[in-house]
Chains A and B, each alone.
Chain A
Amino acid sequence: MSDFIDMSGPSGSHIYDGGYRKYTGERLGQSAAVWSVWRQTVQRVMGLRRPARSKVLPFLSVIIAYLPAAVFVGLVALLPKRINQSVLPAYHEYYGFITAAIVLFVVFTGPEALCPDRRSRVLSLYLAAPLTRATYLLAKAMAVACVLTLVTLGPPLLLLVGRALQGEGPQGPLGFLSVFARIAGAGLMMAVFYTAVSLAVSSLTDRRAFAAGGTLLAVIGTSIVAGILVGALQLSSGWFLLNLNVPPLELVARIYGMPGQLSAQPTWLVAASVAGWSVAGFALAWWRYQRLRVTR
């Protein structure tokens, strides 16, 4: 658009023409639009390029999630190996320490990613661009999942690397890769699961506070319902899989080859409940966005 005409001669002067010009350069396709929305959403959720107060919650959650891992790595360095092994949690047990941080992160990421676009009606500008409702949601889902991996994938990875660097990690390269793959699988699975939950709730309202409250209510409410079904009504422990906190944590244990807390339930059922909740969450968000009317 702007022309810079190099007239640097003996005088070293330049002419800068800032007027409007036709754009004749490269035009990228729909994937670039998705990528741009992804990047903008990640920045928004993390409070980047926004006032300082917007950064408090995301960075607090990340610090809470990484703090135990940092402490455990420190303990590895300070304590003798025999004490370490009795004090340090197994990789799959680490999530028990950071459940609050994950829930906190989930509660505000989805609402922050989806609600403002509808509230300020920017969605109408996005859908007037080379995006469809499906590709818009895809970009949002990828952004939320990516941000969530900060707390579902990063801390166990820090623990693995910290222990390995001090000679306390898995035995040999194969052992390292095996644990790494399990950490990656478990972290990604949890990120996708909670992305589906938070997007589903956030698609129901354009107010961030209501969406955050709704997400929290869904997590707590399902745990109460599952508790009543199994505790008071004496139904099978499989009904615990209705509790939004249970299926991902149970599947994490199975990924590490551990029985978990619902040892009576087969792994396929646990995996199916994770898949079912995820598909239901994404389907609800998709259905809501297909029905949204942005212009009339």
Chain B
Amino acid sequence: MPDVVRGDRLTKRWGATTALADATFAIGTGVTGLVGANGAGKTTLLGMVLGLHRPDGGTIEVLGQDPVTFGPRVRARVGYAPEHDALPPDMTAHDVVRHLAEVHGLPRRAATERASDVLFEVGLGEERFRQVGTFSTGQRQRVKLAQAIAHDPDLVLLDEPTNGLDPVQREEMLHLIRKVGHGLGMNVVLSSHLLEEVERVSDAVVILDGGRVVASGRMAELRGTDSGELVVQVDGASIDAGPALVERLRDDGVAAVARGERVVVALEGPAVYDIVRDALADLDIGLRRMEQRVSSLEDVFMAAGDDE
């Protein structure tokens, strides 16, 4: 399967500020998180994917085409929901979604049908003939998502789609994004500075820091299992079990730290497994679970930052 978006030494400057510097990355199918702090270059990159900004250096390819040269052709196959509020307050949700579907090339009748269906899909079926100006922040985010997918694009770009949402609305939005990416079969680029939400819905990730790509790849590959730590979950019958195990392991020369019912042990070699087993048996502590700790996206992000 060819890459959906591919950047090669992509550079973009805004005056004296370098928004993207030699960014090389590949975005494949599925849901890809575009992660970075505010000002890392995420929105600039989305603008370049849309062909709205000409690169100062390097090349970019979207759905097999150069978006600068073939902007309208590329954008016909892309859906975009910007970070900021971008909906006319005095139009109904249905009119907005239908009109933007038409602008993306759908005939009027198809656009009308799909506007209704997509608004039902994002949970606004009953409210679709209400003016957007009367909607809550969460509902407006859903309208933005609906207009981005109404024309059935090959690629959907979502810029901070959970901004301004409360925890329940955020949960619902993440569910919708997962559904768009995995249920409706569209490729999604989810731009966010919230690592936890990207981690929950994404298959792959591109991490930006100060305009540079510091890590990219499939989520499973990036997290890996080589954190160098073993998590031992002990039976919680005794509150002293954790500290007792830590003390015994330290006596055996193995670094460990207790965290509630869990003990995190430095995995310095395969012998550590035997040492932990023997310690548990000697102390008569029940074992619930023992596994290598998987890195979180935050660990990957921090490690990538340290490498830089």
Contacts and interface: CB of A to CB of B under 8 A. Distances in A.
Nearest to A126: B103
Q: For the side of the interface on B, what is the size category?
A: 35 or more
B100 interface: yes
Interface stretch (B45-53, B241-249, B270-278, B282-290): B45-53
Given A20-B121, A125-B82, A1 B95 contact: no
Residue of B47, B73, B105 with highest tally of chain A CB at under 10 A: B105
A256 B147 CA distance: 50
Interface stretch (A26-34, A185-193, A268-276): A26-34
A18 B120 contact: yes
Contacts of B114: 1, 23
A119 to B, nearest CB: 9
A295 B82 CA distance: 8
Interface residues of A, number: 41
Nearest to B99: A40
A129 interface: yes
B117 A130 contact: no
Contacts of A50: 90
Interface of B: 14, 19, 43-44, 46-47, 50, 52-53, 71-73, 75-76, 78, 80, 82, 84-91, 95, 99-100, 102-107, 110, 113-114, 117-118, 120-121, 147, 151-152, 157, 184-185
Contacts of B120: 18
Q: Which of A120, A121, A126, A295 has the most chain B CB atoms closer than 10 A to its own CB?
A: A295
A235 B118 CA distance: 65
Given A20-B121, A29-B105, A128-B82, 14 more contacts: A23-B106, A23-B110, A25-B106, A28-B106, A33-B102, A36-B99, A117-B88, A121-B85, A124-B82, A127-B52, A132-B72, A294-B47, A296-B19, A296-B43
Contacts of A126: 103
A36 B97 CA distance: 12
A19 B80 CA distance: 22
28 contacts: A1-B113, A1-B118, A2-B117, A18-B117, A20-B121, A21-B117, A23-B106, A29-B72, A30-B72, A32-B102, A36-B99, A37-B103, A49-B95, A116-B88, A120-B85, A125-B80, A125-B82, A125-B100, A125-B147, A128-B52, A129-B100, A130-B76, A130-B105, A132-B71, A295-B47, A295-B50, A295-B82, A296-B47
A25 B120 CA distance: 21
A189 to B, nearest CB: 30
Interface SS, B side: mixed
A22 B185 contact: yes
B76 A120 contact: no
A130 B72 contact: yes
A192 B260 CA distance: 76
A29 B77 CA distance: 11
A51 B103 CA distance: 24
Contacts of A25: 106-107, 110
A120 B86 contact: yes
B72 A122 contact: no
B85 A129 contact: no
Central interface residue in A2, A117, A122, by most chain B CB within 10 Å: A122
A152 B105 CA distance: 33
Nearest to A28: B105
A131 interface: yes
A130 to B, nearest CB: 4
Nearest to A25: B110
Contacts of A54: 90
B87 A122 contact: yes
